[in-house]
Amino acid sequence: MAHPLSIAQLMPADYKLTEGHMWQVQLARDEKAATPRSRHHLAWANACVVLDIFSLGSPLGWTSAQSYEERFEIIREHFRRQLLDALEIFRREVAAGDVRDPVGNFRKRVQGAMRRHYYDAYAMGRTQSDPYWRGFDWHDLDKVRAWIEREYEYLRGWMRQLRDLLKAGQALPGNLDYRASLYGNSLRNSYLSGIVDGAHEEDSVTILEGIVKTEHCKVCPDYWGTYTLAEYEALGGPPPMWCEGLTNCKCIVQVNHAMDPDLRYIVDMVKTLGDVETAELPLPLAFWRQENRPTPEEIEAWAK
- The domain segmentation of the chain, as residue ranges, is 58-198, 200-258, 262-303
| Over residues 220-239, mean pLDDT | 93
How many Å apart are CA 243 and CA 219, to the nearest integer? 6
Residues 51/24, Cβ–Cβ less than 8 Å: yes
**Amino acid 59: pLDDT:** 53
User: pLDDT tens digits for 257-292?
Assistant: 998 888 888 877 766 655 544 544 444 444 444 445
Those residues with Cβ within 8 angstroms of residue 149's Cβ, 6 or more apart along the chain or in another chain: none
Looking at residue 294, what is its pLDDT?
61
Residues present in the chain in total: 304
- For residue 72, which amino acid is it? F
Distance CA 237, CA 27 (A): 31
pLDDT band at 142 (very low <50, low <70, confident <90, very high): confident
Q: What confidence tens digit (pLDDT) does each residue in 238-263 have?
A: 999 999 888 788 899 999 999 888 88
Helices 41-52 and 102-129: angle between axes, nearest 10 degrees: 70
Backbone angles phi, psi at 199, to 5 degrees: -85, 155
Other beta carbons within 10 Å of 80:
20
The torsion angle over the Cα atoms of residues 128, 129, 131 and 136, rounded to 10 degrees, is -90
Q: How confident is the model at residue 206 (pLDDT cuts 50, 70, 90)?
A: very high
Q: Which long-range contacts (CB under 8 A, 24 or more apart) does 295-303 make?
A: none
What's the confidence (pLDDT) of residue 76? 86
Q: Write the DSSP string, 134-199.
A: ----HHHHHHHHHHHHHHHHHHHHHHHHHHHHHHTTPPPPTTHHHHHHHHHHTHHHHHHHHHHHT-
Q: Which helix (H) or strand (E) holds 277?
A: helix 261-277
At 8 the three-state DSSP class reads helix
Q: What ranges make up the beta strands (E) of 32-102?
A: none
